[in-house]
Amino acid sequence: MIEMKGTTIVSVRKDGVVAIGGDGQVTMGSAVAKSNAKKVRRVYNNKVIVGFAGSTADAFTLFEKLEDKLSEYSGNLTRACVELAKDWRTDRILRRLEALLIAADINDTYLISGSGDVLEPDDDVCAIGSGGNYALSAAKALINFSNLDAKSIVEESLKIAASVCIYTNDNITVDVLGESDE
């Protein structure tokens, strides 16, 4: 889990379904600037879900770049993420962007950073942001010790993170791919 102050995004893959969720809080310094931001979006003809932590403008730039890479590589998420990370790390302007992304399609999930990381979670759970460690721990416990589905695990993990992280609220957005998109 890579930490970035200001949000929580968590992804869970279970039983052929992937869910990504995020809280709605935007923080500027020590003040809440917005409580209902949508930090989870679909790209590439609704086939890929992306969640971000960090600067909103930077994240939207990266969403666009990822969608361009997905188009360039015919929807191959692995290749698109690797190429985005390479550009992000080497381009003089892009490397100044401060955000982290989690991107998932029906088959794969990746955490992408500006330092060139494209990480696939070992255990089908991934989280970023200031509340990421809390959500990650909760999701790992719930995936192993409950009968909840992927969407419910994401929701409960975010609620737990919101109860302990001051940069995370309980205004939760979750998107799902698989099983008829639940």
Distance CA(118)–CA(96), nearest Å, equals 18
Domain CATH for 86 = 3.60.20.10
Determine, yes or no, domain membership for 20.
yes
pLDDT score of 4 more than 50: no
The model carries a pTM of 0.93
Determine, yes or no, domain membership for 66.
yes
Other Cβ atoms closer than 10 A to 15: 8
Determine, yes or no, domain membership for 99.
yes
Determine, yes or no, domain membership for 48.
yes
Per annotation, catalytic residue among 7, 8, 109, 173: 7
* pLDDT tens digits for range 89-146: 888 777 778 888 999 999 999 999 888 899 999 899 999 999 999 999 999 999 999 9
- Rounded to an integer, the average pLDDT of 35-44 is 94
Q: Let me know: does 4 contact 53? Beta carbons within 8 Å.
A: yes
Alpha helix (H) ranges present in the chain?
A: 56-72, 77-90, 132-145, 150-164
The helix or strand, by DSSP H or E, that contains position 48, with its residue range, turns out to be strand 48-54
Q: How many domains does the chain have?
A: 1
Determine, yes or no, domain membership for 1.
no
Domain of residue 139 covers: 8-181
pLDDT score of 182 more than 80: no
- Rounded to an integer, the average pLDDT of 60-82 is 95
What is the pLDDT at residue 73?
98
Higher pLDDT pick, 3 / 143: 143
Is 27 marked active-site? Answer: no
Q: Kindly state the tokens that stand for 84.
A: 């985005």
